[in-house]
Amino acid sequence: ENVKTKHPQLLYESKLYRILQGGTGIPNLRWFGVEGDYNVLVIDLLGPSLEDLFNFCSRKLSLKSVLMLADQMINRVEFFHSKAFLHRDIKPDNFLMGLGRRANQVYIIDYGLAKKYRDSSTHQHIPYRENKNLTGTARYASMNTHLGIEQSRRDDLESLGFVLMYFLRGSLPWQGLKAGTKKQKYEKISEKKVSTSIEALCRGYPTEFASYFHYCRSLRFDDKPDYAYLKRIFRDLFIREGFQFDYVFDWTILKYQQSQLTNPPARALGLGAGTSSPLPPAIANADRHTAAEDTRAAGLSSMDSSRRRASGPLMSSGNYAKQKSPVANDH
């Protein structure tokens, strides 16, 4: 960002990176300083965002992929909260996949709108306030955020719920609303959000998603959420559906299919008698080391890919370099 910018954020964000360093799915802060006319923040090179991958998968994700993501995303939000900060801009663009061995690990980025919600020494929670301006992204903002209520831990989790439904449904009911000004657009989004019941939003999808929202909305302003409960309802659904926690996401398969089209197996070219597998070896092998774990729920307690073997390379390009704005946006 330009050193003369009206609302500098990178220094604040670099401090957040330092506080969060070492957490699973937190990029390493490589350097922060001034270079010419710019404040510069350097973090690890990461892979595509979940918004990129959602587009790559034709803007719909399978239940299996969404549940594998949900577990890691709840963990990221929980870690953020454990350091006494709210993220306040939970959206698909702010979750990135790693690269190489970390290709199946979800990272959380963009801490420019984060806010401390409790005092480090006294542990006193910030006070309840109203008439607050919308901070974050209107599409994923919680209902209380639209109503002008100070954000707390419950709001990050409600926003995450909207992200999960966006992935499953392909869109949210308050997308694409036309209005003259940004303010009018936020009002329209707010009206539509308030008038859309949880049941209507989650209709046609497993009841666990409605349960997730009901739980988030049952929390009082300063309540500590039961993150383990939220992970558990999704893990139980995952097991009941008979899914394998093998890190084979929709884009993993799609990427592999595309690579097969551009590089057909040798046998198809008549160059040898090698066998062609319907999935890359790393993916085919992923089932082997999970067989024992799949027989018990405990095996799912270490869903974070930092503790599990990566299941093969996927989109290996893409980096994180963007300008951030402290004002709300709608997408």
In 10 A of CB 269, how many CB atoms? 9
In terms of C-beta distances under 8 Å and separation of at least 24 residues, what long-range contacts does 201-204 make, across chains too?
A: 201/165, 201/172, 201/173, 202/165
* Element of type H or E holding 229: helix 227-240
Residues 6+ apart with CB under 8 A from 260: none
Q: What angle, rounded to 10 degrees, do the helices at 153-169 and 63-82 form?
A: 160
Residue 44 known to be catalytic: no
Annotated catalytic residue within 37, 44, 89, 110: 89
Convert 124-137 to b/e letters by CB count within 10 Å (16 or more is b).
Answer: ebbeeeeeeebbbb
Phi then psi for residue 133, to 5 deg, are -75, 155
C-alpha 89/C-alpha 112 separation (Å) is 9
Q: Where are the beta strands (DSSP E) in the chain?
A: 29-35, 38-43, 85-86, 95-97, 106-108, 115-116
Q: What is the set of active-site residues? A: 89
